[in-house]
Amino acid sequence: MTVSVRFAPSPTGVLHVGSVRTALFNWLFARHNNGKFLLRIEDTDKLRSTDENTRLIFETLNWLNIDWDEGHVIQSMNIERHKRAALELVEKGSAYRCYCTPEELFTKKEQALKEGVSYKYDKKCRDSQTEVADRPYAIRLKSEVAWKTTVDDMVQGEVTVENSQLDDLVLLRSDGTPTYMLSVVVDDHDMGITHVIRGDDHLTNTFRQIQIYKAFGWKIPVFGHIPLIYGPDGAKLSKRHGAASAQDYMKLGYLPEAISNYLLRLGWSHGDDEIITRTQAVEWFDFDSVGKSPARFDMAKLDNLNAHYMKERDNESLLNSLIPFMQCDVSQLETARILMGMDSLKQRAKTLVDLANAAQIYVSAPVEFEETCRKYATEKHLCLLKEVIEIIENQTEIKEKELCDKITNFAKEKGEKLVEIAQAIRGALVGKLVSPSVFEIIEIIGKDDTVARLNKYINYFSA
């Protein structure tokens, strides 16, 4: 049997990282088993679905390098098929027309509420076979009354409900629109889905969906319900925790490979391995190692992974990811400088936002100097810097190593520690006291720019 799985997001909101993880687990399961990973956009809620959200789904999956097989399915295109399927069930006697009016049902719900019992449709229309002309009706499933439904879930293990708890759920509403329960089952069947892998908030739906499969006489897929993602406080991860959607993390400057590695480890493990490449993930992924309990999102861990993957990236490709994060347009010359400095820049940054801030040194002179610079801006320091300017101006070509030797000797001559001079230079070049090697920066930005920045510093602090 070829494994066929699907990711079925609804474009009714932004894509939550929990959904991204669902997509990833489905994809890994498919690729591990040489199966198919299909994409279905569940856009039947026309009021809340937007094209923009659909676009974001494609964008996010592309960003994460999660590719799908065959063209994607748009659920709303299958509505006629869903309606016909509901009528087939009526003909088979597995579903029935319910003529109860919304008012009638509402009154019964109110009554149940008053009596403090949970409302369930009373199955009034279940046994009447007569079709009433010109009266709107819903179609309800004749659910099994006796016995139990058990799911052998790939993650949750065996879960059982008493069928008596299940309602005669609506398959087709009286306005002619199919319900989610019906659409999802018909589409999964038509798409040949063998394994339904999704968030465990869908577990209760599964029992209802199994009844629909049975009513059609279709093969029931294997289910796997993965736990949701929680914030550090134990509540479901939401925007309130700072970031919850894939877009949020994209904007915060995380690399797709870090997000992907992080989400994989959140809920799945392979020994103590933390850094797991895509290739390894495809090779190792299975449901035996997916945990049952909800995972807590840990920003610090994500930061560490991101820092790791930034160092791993080749500089050209990191530069491409970095450019959109720069505060202003970057010229070709500036881009070339950033690339030259990238090896050092990427050692220090946790996110692309950090990296963009650090890379700013190759785009413009500091606009202001941090207060800490003052310590290296005394009269003594400013005098030393004036001599440093001379040394620099006397170079025909500036090379990091040579310049470092020159300034080191100069410090010795002056009976000063190198750090005193280097920190003053650093303050002048970047406006603060942390940066890559000042000699490297000087080599990259060149003589003129260096001298201009040193002069600016001297003027600023002499005033």
Q: Compare residues 28 and 86 and give the one whose CB is closer to Zn ion.
A: 86
Q: Let me know: does 173 contact 34? Beta carbons within 8 Å.
A: no
Q: Compare residues 102 and 192 and give the one whose CB is closer to Zn ion.
A: 102
Site for ligand GLU in 38-57 (CB under 6 A): 42
Please work out the total of residues on this chain that contact ligand GLU, with binding judged by CB under 6 A.
7
Which of Zn ion, ligand GLU, none binds 125 (CB below 5-8 Å, type-dependent)? Zn ion
Q: Compare residues 58 and 106 and give the one whose CB is closer to ligand GLU.
A: 58
Shortest reach from residue 164's CB to Zn ion, in Å: 19
Q: Which listed residue (92, 239, 399, 401) is catalytic?
A: 239
Single residue of 202, 251, 308, 348 touching ligand GLU by CB under 6 A: 202
Shortest reach from residue 201's CB to ligand GLU, in Å: 7
For tokens 């500091």, what's the residue? 366
Convert 82-112 into a string of H (helix), E (strand) and C (coil). Answer: HHHHHHHHHHHCCEEEECCCHHHHHHHHHHH
Site for ligand GLU in 174-193 (CB under 6 A): 184
Which of Zn ion, ligand GLU, none binds 227 (CB below 5-8 Å, type-dependent)? none
Residues 94, 192: Cα–Cα separation, whole Å: 22
Residues 230, 419: Cα–Cα separation, whole Å: 47
Which of ligand GLU, Zn ion, none binds 10 (CB below 5-8 Å, type-dependent)? ligand GLU
Site for Zn ion in 120-179 (CB under 5 A): 124-125
If you ran DSSP here, which 8-state letter would residue 61 be given? Answer: H
CA neighbours closer than 13 Å in the CB half-sphere of residue 232: 8
Q: How far is CA 67 from CA 72, 233, 255, in A?
A: 11, 33, 17
Which of ligand GLU, Zn ion, none binds 100 (CB below 5-8 Å, type-dependent)? Zn ion
Range in contact with Zn ion (rule: CB under 5 A) among 118-126, 296-304, 337-345, 450-458 = 118-126
Reading the block at residue 278, the tokens are 């895509």
Q: Let me know: does 24 contact 263? Beta carbons within 8 Å.
A: yes
For tokens 């003589």, what's the residue? 447
- Which parts of 200-313 are beta strand (E)? 222-226, 229-230, 295-296
Q: Does 210 bind Zn ion (CB under 5 A)?
A: no
295-322: string of b/e by CB count within 10 Å (b at 16+)?
A: bebeeeebbbbbbbbbeebebeebbeeb
Range in contact with ligand GLU (rule: CB under 6 A) among 2-10, 81-89, 313-321, 448-456 = 2-10
Shortest reach from residue 429's CB to ligand GLU, in Å: 51
Site for ligand GLU in 8-27 (CB under 6 A): 8-10
36 is an active site residue: no
Q: Compare residues 98 and 373 and give the one whose CB is closer to Zn ion.
A: 98
Residues 255, 295: Cα–Cα separation, whole Å: 21
Residues 106, 112: Cα–Cα separation, whole Å: 10
Q: Compare residues 89 and 389 and give the one whose CB is closer to Zn ion.
A: 89
Contact pattern for Zn ion over residues 68 through 107, marking x by CB under 5 A? ------------------------------x-x-------
Residues 77, 454: Cα–Cα separation, whole Å: 66
Residues assigned a catalytic role = 239
- The residues of the shown chain that bind ligand GLU, judged by CB under 6 A, are 8-10, 42, 184, 198, 202
- The residues of the shown chain that bind Zn ion, judged by CB under 5 A, are 98, 100, 124-125
